Amino acid sequence: MRARKPETLAVTMAHRKEIPDFLTEEECKLIVHLAQLKGLQKSQILPTDDYEEAMEMIEISQMDIFNLLDHNQDGQLQLKEVLTHTRLGNGRWMTPENIREMYTAVKADPDGNGVLSLEEFKQLNIRDFHKYMGSQKVKMSDLVRNSQHTWLYQGEGAHQVMRAIRQRSREIVEHSEPLQVVRYDQGGHYHAHMDSGPVFPETACSHTKLVANESAPFETSCRYVTVLFYLNNVTGGGETVFPIADNRTYEEMSLIQNDVDLRDTRKNCDKGNLRVKPQQGTAVFWYNYLSDGEGWVGELDDFALHGGCLVTQGTKWIANNWINVDPNRRRQLQFQQEMERYAGAGAGAGAPGEWTVDKSYSGVHLEL
């Protein structure tokens, strides 16, 4: 269990900043128009094709799987322990009902109590689970995220309004990701998630990886701050929910109690601690990491867990600016120096703005 550190800035009702009328109605409409002109693609978390083949390529023993799932190390797998690690499945959001159906299909739970002992788990053929998941037809409403999105460049040569929006906070977003624009139709949602991932010594940040010229087995987006813009008023639903904002402690297993999963934004948004109603032009920002106590990026803030509630009527348009900061000061400084060098070199360097977006941010658009 992780307790909130009183001296650190985390997602609470006080530390989440909401700025009404940050964008004008005209600016909101223009962003939507530019996104439509560019074209939006479906937002997918994981591919649903060739799931079984992909899973078989992962080399991990059955005992390792059990130990990974057994969160409290009591030698039994509770439903919520399995849910915590299988919520992505083959692109499908897994519910307690889904897990029970899978157990029945592969004859994994002979006594039907919803708990797998170590002995019961040893009797299973893991390939049966993969085959079952691979055979399931996934609807858009079953996915972790049901939306469409695109990316709009805000650097040199971009539409003057796009540049003007970035200039309002130029010091912190100039070298960060392009603007992501997202459309949720009626029935759209995004289950609770983190915008960034934990950074360990063996982890590289996507935005600094290229200039640091370092290899690492893991990669994450290092989105220090999220700035979310509401581009329209939503007729029904579509709130942004922070399920555990203002909690005093964090325990991953406590997110699922009595078959109620607080991360499920299609069913349980009303149970979240904090909900923000979409209002056209409003900007909301929050920190995804805590401070390290020395004025730099520290640990991932678990309380920044958030999601997009089910749109029950109409359409929801939002945009995201992420401020990317590497917890490794040396790498971040090196990255910013390189960006400034290319920007200062002018057109002779081969379109610095294009280099920044196409090279530094290639592959950075992780749907976390």
Q: Are both 107 and 160 inside the same structural domain? A: no
Residues 102 and 168 placed together within one structural domain of the fold: no
Last residue of a domain, one of 98, 116, 140: 140
With a CB cutoff of 8 Å and minimum separation 6, the contacts of 349 are 342, 355
User: For residue 367, is it within any domain?
Assistant: no
**Domain harbouring 126, CATH code:** 1.10.238.10
pLDDT value at position 215?
77
Boundary residue ending a domain (111, 140, 169): 140
Q: For 4-13, 120-129, 142-151, which range has the lowest pLDDT when averaged over its residues?
A: 4-13
Q: Is the pLDDT of residue 167 over 90?
A: no
- At residue 58, the pLDDT reads 59
Quote the pLDDT of residue 74: 93
pTM for this prediction: 0.85
Residue-wise pLDDT tens digits, 169-199:
665 566 788 999 999 999 999 999 999 988 8
**Do residue 285 and residue 204 come from a single domain?**
yes
Residue 233's CATH number: 2.60.120.620
Count of structural domains within the chain? 2
Within a domain: 365: no
Share of the chain above pLDDT 90, in %: 44
Whether 150 and 226 share a structural domain: yes
**Domain range spanning residue 273?**
2-44+144-360
Tens digits of residue pLDDT in 330-352: 999 998 888 888 777 654 444 44
- Establish if 368 belongs to a structural domain: no
Q: Is residue 83 part of a domain?
A: yes
Residues 32 and 91 grouped into a single domain: no
Do 296 and 198 lie in a common domain?
yes
Residue 81 burial (CB < 10 Å; 0-12/13-18/19+)? buried
Let me know whether 209 and 128 are in one domain.
no
Statement to judge: residues 239 and 276 lie in one domain: yes
pLDDT digits (tens, 9 = 90+) for 208-236: 888 877 777 788 889 999 999 999 999 99
Residue 75 domain flag: yes
- Measured CA to CA, the distance from residue 202 to residue 216 in angstroms comes to 6
Q: Which of 140, 160, 195 is the last residue of a domain?
A: 140
Is the same domain home to 270 and 134? no
Between 92 and 234, where is the model more confident?
234
Do 233 and 318 lie in one domain? The reply is yes
The mean pLDDT value of the chain amounts to: 83
108 vs 106: CA distance, rounded Å:
5
